Amino acid sequence: MNAQEKVFEKLNELNIKYEVVNHPAVFTIEEMDNLGITFQGDVCKNLFLRDEKGKRHFLVVLDKDKKADLKNIQKQLGSTRLSFASAERLDKYLKLQKGEVTPLGVINDINASVEVAFDNDLLGRTKLGVHPNDNTATVWISFEDLIKVVEQNGNKITYVTI
């Protein structure tokens, strides 16, 4: 079973409604804009971060048009200095590659060790675009259902203001 199939299986198991748009591999929001994907709903930008000692890992989910102030996020999460985690850590914790980062990656986080931080502005959104653990597709899903996936996996959820 490939990465996408695993995601769709989990969404179906949780009775979550979703739509899928297949497209060429994209690595940036700009590439998604160029393909017209971002006009179909609210696309999420996802940052995989680590604390100074590499003991805590965070997946920060925000609207594609926002700029993340890591110092501000660090304060809200009660963390030491935040920086982007390495490709090795991304693979180890979420089994994802650069360009594939998504909150749906938590289904690969067997120990639920990654903390997921959602920007408050995403609350109540009905059509969020995230990758299904593969950057050749975008899944449209409601914020409420996205939370359901993360909660079901047992990852800690925090809300931050970005």
Q: pLDDT, tens digit, for every residue of 30-86?
A: 999 999 999 999 999 999 999 999 999 999 999 999 999 999 999 999 999 999 999
Would you place residue 1 in the very low, low, confident or very high pLDDT band (cuts 50, 70, 90)? Answer: confident
86 phi and psi angles, rounded to 5 deg: -70, 165
Is residue 3 situated within a structural domain?
A: no
Global pTM? Answer: 0.96
Is residue 5 situated within a structural domain?
A: no
As for how many domains the chain has, the answer is 1
CA 103 – CA 116 distance, rounded (Å) = 8
* Structural domain boundaries enclosing 83: 18-160
Is residue 110 situated within a structural domain?
A: yes
Is residue 105 situated within a structural domain?
A: yes
How many alpha carbons lie under 13 Å from residue 84 in its C-beta half-sphere? 8
- Identify the CATH number of the domain in which residue 131 sits: 3.90.960.10
Nearest CA to 117 out of 64, 53, 161 is that of 161
Is residue 8 situated within a structural domain?
A: no
Is residue 88 situated within a structural domain?
A: yes
